[in-house]
């Protein structure tokens, strides 16, 4: 019989769902965020921890033709060691390669990176612009949710300087930061393969330029037609909004036009206007509001004009 405060390793998704439906149950896979959050916090003492790490039913990477399917127990290291990921979704591969350090990536999972729902996540912006979705399983069965519809706004996250995970008080992100129902688990992710025409850039700005949490980051994708005009564009900045969002959300002024700096500025202005609404909430607003427009314009210049941005070794 499961007691309050127990540690459980279910053998199947069905068993995991039953355990997670219990009051006070907390699921995790790699536990990289959990271990930091729980340090010295008595509020975690009576939780029932459900360990999904290494579950064979969730440890898969499958080529489904036009999409790639990734199980929730797949670590970031396993992801980076899979040729199909680097070849088919290079933007995700690049973002995952910038998460923390090798020791963390050996334990951390892509599903866990999403479930933690940190606005400064490195993988979430890439998944957003790639139009990824997650399959979740609960007591009522399975359902599919676009990643863009998975997150709740969490203004409290923006108040943390650097968005350090140790300052996040939300252990149970399912109810605080995600649109999942109690007891539901992310069991897999589905990502459309990038086409040959789909260009992409990932950029991360940290305090130490190595393993730190992102101060700012972004992922963007775009494509050009045979005549050199823009046929598609999407960008998702990280570290600045209470939940992940892509731009532009209205009619895209880039579409059907030859890319140039003036057009880039029009996109960036929309993002800057939205960022201004977070002025009283976002830690480091003065710095971020000044730097974000610059790195986004540089990113678009690399994406469409081939002009390398500073730190472009981290872009594709």
Beta bridge partners of 269: none
Task: Give the CATH number of the domain where residue 294 resides.
Answer: 3.30.390.50
Task: Give the CATH number of the domain where residue 182 resides.
Answer: 3.30.465.10
Count of structural domains within the chain: 2
User: What confidence category does residue 182 fall into, taking pLDDT thresholds of 50, 70 and 90?
Assistant: confident
Task: Give the pLDDT of residue 219.
Answer: 97
- Taking the chain, what is the end-to-end CA distance rounded to the nearest angstrom? 51
Asked whether the whole model's pTM tops 0.85, one would answer yes
Q: For residue 96, is it within any domain?
A: yes
> pLDDT above 70 covers what percent of the chain?
88
75 and 141, same domain (yes or no) = yes
249 and 277, same domain (yes or no) = yes
Note the pLDDT tens digit of each residue in 223-262. 999 999 999 999 999 999 999 999 987 778 899 999 999 8
Task: Give the pLDDT of residue 157.
Answer: 80
Q: Which domain holds residue 212?
A: 202-306
- Sheet with 141-146, strands from edge to edge, namely 61-63, 67-71, 185-192, 133-138, 141-146
User: What confidence category does residue 161 fall into, taking pLDDT thresholds of 50, 70 and 90?
Assistant: low
- Are 100 and 35 spatial neighbours (Cβ–Cβ below 8 Å)? no
- Are 28 and 34 spatial neighbours (Cβ–Cβ below 8 Å)? yes
Say if residue 312's pLDDT is above 50: no
89 and 135, same domain (yes or no) = yes
The tokens describing 17, both together, are 């769902």
Domain boundary (132, 161, 192) is at 192
Mean pLDDT over residues 35-59, rounded? 81
107 and 177, same domain (yes or no) = yes
Say if residue 80's pLDDT is above 60: yes
Say if residue 91's pLDDT is above 70: yes
3-state secondary structure of 95: helix
The tokens describing 61, both together, are 């990477």
Sign of CA dihedral 292, 297, 303, 308: negative
Task: Give the pLDDT of residue 252.
Answer: 84
Say if residue 4's pLDDT is above 60: no
60 and 188, same domain (yes or no) = yes
- Are 151 and 115 spatial neighbours (Cβ–Cβ below 8 Å)? no
Say if residue 18's pLDDT is above 70: yes
Q: For residue 313, is it within any domain?
A: no
> pLDDT above 90 covers what percent of the chain?
66
Say if residue 93's pLDDT is above 60: yes
C-beta pairs of 164-167 under 8 Å, 24+ apart in sequence: 164/213, 165/33, 165/36, 165/37, 165/116, 165/118, 165/213, 166/36, 166/37, 166/39
């Amino acid at each position: 019989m499961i007691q309050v405060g127990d540690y459980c390793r279910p053998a199947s998704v069905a068993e995991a769902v039953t355990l997670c439906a219990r009051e006070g149950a907390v699921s995790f896979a790699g536990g990289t965020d959990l271990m930091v959050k729980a340090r010295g916090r008595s509020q975690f003492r009576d939780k029932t921890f459900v360990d999904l790490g290494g579950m064979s039913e969730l440890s898969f990477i499958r080529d489904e033709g036009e999409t790639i399917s990734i199980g929730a127990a797949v670590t970031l290291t396993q992801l980076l060691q899979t040729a199909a990921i680097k070849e088919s979704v290079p933007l995700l591969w690049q973002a995952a390669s910038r998460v923390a350090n090798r020791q963390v990536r050996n334990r951390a999972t892509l599903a866990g990176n999403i479930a933690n729902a940190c606005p400064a996540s490195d993988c979430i912006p890439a998944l957003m612009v790639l139009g990824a979705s997650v399959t979740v399983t609960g007591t009522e069965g399975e359902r599919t949710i676009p990643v863009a519809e998975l997150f709740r706004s969490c203004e409290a996250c923006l108040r943390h300087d650097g968005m350090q995970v140790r300052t996040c008080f939300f252990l149970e992100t399912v109810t605080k930061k995600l649109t999942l129902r109690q007891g539901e688990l992310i069991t897999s992710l589905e990502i459309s393969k990038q086409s040959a025409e789909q260009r992409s850039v990932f950029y991360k700005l940290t305090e130490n330029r190595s393993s730190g949490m992102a101060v700012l980051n972004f992922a963007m994708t775009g494509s050009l037609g045979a005549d050199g005009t823009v046929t598609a564009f999407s960008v998702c900045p990280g570290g600045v909004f209470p939940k992940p969002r892509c731009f532009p959300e209205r009619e895209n002024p880039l579409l059907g036009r030859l890319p140039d700096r003036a057009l880039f500025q029009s996109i960036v202005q929309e993002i800057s206007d939205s960022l201004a609404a977070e002025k009283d909430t976002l830690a480091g607003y003065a710095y971020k509001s000044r730097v974000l427009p610059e790195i986004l314009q540089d990113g678009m210049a690399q994406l469409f004009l081939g002009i390398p941005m500073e730190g472009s070794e981290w872009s594709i």
